[in-house]
Chain A
Amino acid sequence: MRGTNVRGTNVRGKRAETTIASMPQGRRYIVESLRRPAGAGPASWDTTVSRLEELGVMPGETVEKVGTLSPAGPVVVRVLGSKVALSKDVADLVIVRPAPKC
């Protein structure tokens, strides 16, 4: 995973986070935050965040992975009842935590 070193901790020394890209299939997760990528220009990142928000990929919403279209390719998640395809580099940036079981 980008931004993490060998011990599985990221640059700020926290435990490696689960992202949409790394979360397992078939379990519900809650979006915690969107991480800004290292090299992205502010304009294009803002647009990407806005487009994610429009589709419901935003902090507080529940997401569930339904499939990965190829090892390096897009991840398909179910959010707000619809399926959304995200390219791998975007999926890497969305940090999630497991949803409480009920």
Chain B
Amino acid sequence: MLVALVGQPNSGKSALLGCLTGAKVFTSNYPGTTVEVTEGRVPGTGITVLDTPGIYSMRALSKEQQVTRKVILERRPRVIVNVVDGTSLRKQLPLTLSLKSLGIPIVLAVNQADRMKELGIHIDLDVLRKETGAEAVLTSAITGEGAETLLQAIEKAAASGAGEDGPSAPFSSHEPCRSFGPYDLRDLHEAASAIADRTVRLRGASGRRSPAEYLDRLLDRPAASWLVLGGLLWAVWRFSSWALPFAETSVRMILNPLRVHAESLLRAVLPRGPLAETLSEAVPEGFILPMATVLPAMILAYSLMAVLEDSGFLGRMAALSDVFTAALNLPGQSMIPLTLGFGCRVPALMAARILPGERSRRTASLIIATCVPCTATISLSLAALAKFRASFAVPGVLTAVSALTIGWAARLIPGGQKEPLVLELPPLRIPSLRNIAMKTQARLRGFFSHALPLLVVVNSAVRVFMSQGLPAGANVSRFSRVYLGIPPEALWSVLLTMFQRYLAPLFLMQQNLTPREAVIAVSMVALGFPCLPSAVVLWRENGARFVLLTFLTSLILFIGWGMVLNLILPS
């Protein structure tokens, strides 16, 4: 039996899926966490649960909301579990009422019972049942309260189910419609208001503000919120410039004996020759480099990302940066995918779905794919720059300028200005350490399970190539040296960004570069091609032509900046 969890953004659908199925799901505290449909089975029953991106109404304005609409209309779940945040019932009810017109049995999961208790909110479920005509259950995904009762209610609703005829006339799955089906929006809101008045009671509120609530109020003041944002960035920068070199030295020190052993083992096993010599050095190095350089940076970046997501500060950041993102011709919401991009670009490109218009979505995707380097690329690029004693500032400034240029160019496309910022700010919460650890660990595992073998293989291949001499035509060699001021091997490594951007600095590190060459090459890498995984996502989200446009943009950017740097940098 197919059951869909449907509800407004940030009402706790994903958490409830995790609670019902026992699956590990990523939950965050910002509207738009879930941008695609995920599925899970409830153990011991025949129930399959679909978790859907949050929707405010069946009109489905943004792309991730259209995903939900499509799934309801095309897969026709037997029962819809409408997950409502019990702490703001009044706001959630219009969706509930408009879902009723689908003709699919509905069960109301009044979620976040734990927070309701904290805030002293009491909901009269009997009245709610009578008013909405749907079974209502109090749930809390955090404590697990109500999960059993919810499953029983689902079974009961399915048995009584009139769900056979599917959605009724007013909805078609093809286009986002402008109406609420048979209801007038104002009527819906009036009805919601009336129901909320009769069901919600406030009593026994502690009246004491929690630390999170206090911070929440504080951040409404402009000075405080700018201070917190600035302080956070400063603290992260200070901490990382102290912790990362420290972590790198320690990891190398710990792993060095292993490396020596692995090297001598490989030397003994492999048949003698120059190839064996190269491999026995390259393979252990391919393991140690990501452990020492990438792992600490990733732990730091991913846990910071998790804190931003879970605390709800990401939404605040988005609203605050509306002033900055205006320079990119993007609404403040785009700060969410842009920030995620510094972790990994694949989820960031998916998160671009939450942007309000096609135009913003495409501009943001283009900027993420070309100008936002992921943590792995940043850490390895910095390592390469440090190795050749080259300037850190040049690549950084160039990426920023390139992003601004794309935003400026996007303004020239007819179709008007950027969409204005209209964004719901989630209440701040103290993030749970367990959730942060779980997220960081899962993302690290995701990276290292495919990146580590790749790094070892590429590192060895590069070593072998370097020892044999790379095939470079005279023309390529001339172009590279005369116009870009870098050796042809460095140009090859820049082109390697097509597979994975972080492989390129690794390749550069094996070469003998002057600081000037290193600056040019790393700058070109920073603006290199979108990596293969992100190209696939770009294709799926925006089509083949857009992928072509992205590749063309990055080609123009990195060749162009390479030439400019070659002209202006003193030799």
B residues 372-386 in Cβ contact with A at 8 Å: none
Q: Would B90 and A80 count as touching, CB distance under 8 A?
A: yes
Does B221 have its Cβ within 8 Å of any Cβ on chain A?
Answer: yes
The complex places the Cα of A48 from the Cα of B111 at a distance, in Å, of 29
In the bound complex, residues from chain A placing their C-beta under 8 Å from that of B220 are: 66-67, 76, 83
Q: Would B91 and A51 count as touching, CB distance under 8 A?
A: no
Partner of B178, one of A50, A74, A85: A50
How many residue-residue contacts, CB under 8 A, span A and B?
113
The complex places the Cα of A73 from the Cα of B419 at a distance, in Å, of 15
Q: Would A58 and B186 count as touching, CB distance under 8 A?
A: yes
Q: Would B423 and A84 count as touching, CB distance under 8 A?
A: yes
In the bound complex, residues from chain A placing their C-beta under 8 Å from that of B416 are: 40-41, 44
In the bound complex, residues from chain A placing their C-beta under 8 Å from that of B332 are: 74, 85, 87
Partner of B421, one of A47, A50, A80, A87: A87
Question: 1/0 per position for B415-429, CB-CB distance to A under 8 A?
Answer: 111011111110100
How many residues in B have their beta carbons less than 8 Å from beta carbons of A? 39
Does B357 have its Cβ within 8 Å of any Cβ on chain A?
Answer: yes
Q: Would B422 and A55 count as touching, CB distance under 8 A?
A: yes
- CB of B146 to closest CB in A, whole Å: 22
Does A32 have its Cβ within 8 Å of any Cβ on chain B?
Answer: no
Taking A80-B90, A83-B427, A86-B422 as known contacts, 15 extra A-B pairs with beta carbons closer than 8 A to each other, sorted by chain A number, are A54-B59, A54-B61, A58-B186, A69-B320, A70-B226, A70-B323, A73-B323, A76-B220, A80-B91, A82-B91, A85-B315, A87-B420, A87-B421, A87-B422, A90-B421
In the bound complex, residues from chain B placing their C-beta under 8 Å from that of A48 are: 356, 419-420, 422
In the bound complex, residues from chain A placing their C-beta under 8 Å from that of B186 are: 58-60
Partner of B221, one of A67, A81, A82: A67
In the bound complex, residues from chain B placing their C-beta under 8 Å from that of A57 are: 422
Q: Would B322 and A87 count as touching, CB distance under 8 A?
A: yes
- CB of A91 to closest CB in B, whole Å: 9
The complex places the Cα of A99 from the Cα of B425 at a distance, in Å, of 24
Some 25 contacts from A to B, beta carbons below 8 A apart, are A41-B415, A44-B416, A44-B417, A47-B61, A47-B357, A48-B356, A51-B356, A54-B57, A56-B91, A58-B185, A58-B189, A60-B190, A73-B320, A73-B323, A74-B319, A76-B220, A81-B90, A82-B88, A82-B424, A84-B425, A85-B319, A85-B322, A86-B421, A87-B331, A87-B421
- CB of A44 to closest CB in B, whole Å: 6
Q: Given A47-B357, A53-B185, A69-B319: A90 and B420 within 8 A (CB)? A: yes
Does B87 have its Cβ within 8 Å of any Cβ on chain A?
Answer: yes
Partner of A81, one of B88, B323, B421: B88
In the bound complex, residues from chain A placing their C-beta under 8 Å from that of B318 are: 85
Does B388 have its Cβ within 8 Å of any Cβ on chain A?
Answer: no
- CB of A61 to closest CB in B, whole Å: 7
Q: Would A80 and B88 count as touching, CB distance under 8 A?
A: yes
Does B225 have its Cβ within 8 Å of any Cβ on chain A?
Answer: yes
Q: Would A84 and B422 count as touching, CB distance under 8 A?
A: yes
Which B residue's beta carbon lies closest to that of A59?
Answer: B186
Question: 1/0 per position for A7-39, CB-CB distance to B under 8 A?
Answer: 000000000000000000000000000000000
Range of interface residues on A (Cβ < 8 Å): 35 or more
In the bound complex, residues from chain A placing their C-beta under 8 Å from that of B320 are: 69-70, 73-74
In the bound complex, residues from chain B placing their C-beta under 8 Å from that of A56 are: 91, 189
- CB of B424 to closest CB in A, whole Å: 5
Q: Given A54-B57, A69-B319: A83 and B189 within 8 A (CB)? A: no
Q: Which of A60, A66, A80 has the most CB of B within 10 A?
A: A80
Q: Would B422 and A44 count as touching, CB distance under 8 A?
A: no
- CB of B336 to closest CB in A, whole Å: 13
Which B residue's beta carbon lies closest to that of A93?
Answer: B420
Which B residue's beta carbon lies closest to that of A72?
Answer: B323
In the bound complex, residues from chain B placing their C-beta under 8 Å from that of A46 are: 178
Q: Would B61 and A44 count as touching, CB distance under 8 A?
A: no
Does A68 have its Cβ within 8 Å of any Cβ on chain B?
Answer: yes
Partner of A70, one of B56, B87, B222, B415: B222
In the bound complex, residues from chain B placing their C-beta under 8 Å from that of A54 are: 56-57, 59, 61
In the bound complex, residues from chain B placing their C-beta under 8 Å from that of A70 are: 222, 226, 320, 323
Which A residue's beta carbon lies closest to that of B331?
Answer: A87
- CB of B114 to closest CB in A, whole Å: 17
Which A residue's beta carbon lies closest to that of B55?
Answer: A54
Q: Would B424 and A55 count as touching, CB distance under 8 A?
A: yes
Closest 6 CB pairs of A and B: A67-B220, A54-B56, A85-B319, A80-B91, A87-B421, A83-B425
Which B residue's beta carbon lies closest to that of A80?
Answer: B91
In the bound complex, residues from chain B placing their C-beta under 8 Å from that of A60 are: 186, 189-190
The complex places the Cα of A72 from the Cα of B420 at a distance, in Å, of 13
In the bound complex, residues from chain A placing their C-beta under 8 Å from that of B423 are: 84-85
- CB of A55 to closest CB in B, whole Å: 6
B residues 177-212 in Cβ contact with A at 8 Å: 178, 185-186, 189-190
The complex places the Cα of A58 from the Cα of B315 at a distance, in Å, of 22
Q: Would A73 and B61 count as touching, CB distance under 8 A?
A: no
Q: Given A41-B416, A48-B420, A61-B189: A73 and B322 within 8 A (CB)? A: yes
In the bound complex, residues from chain A placing their C-beta under 8 Å from that of B427 are: 82-83
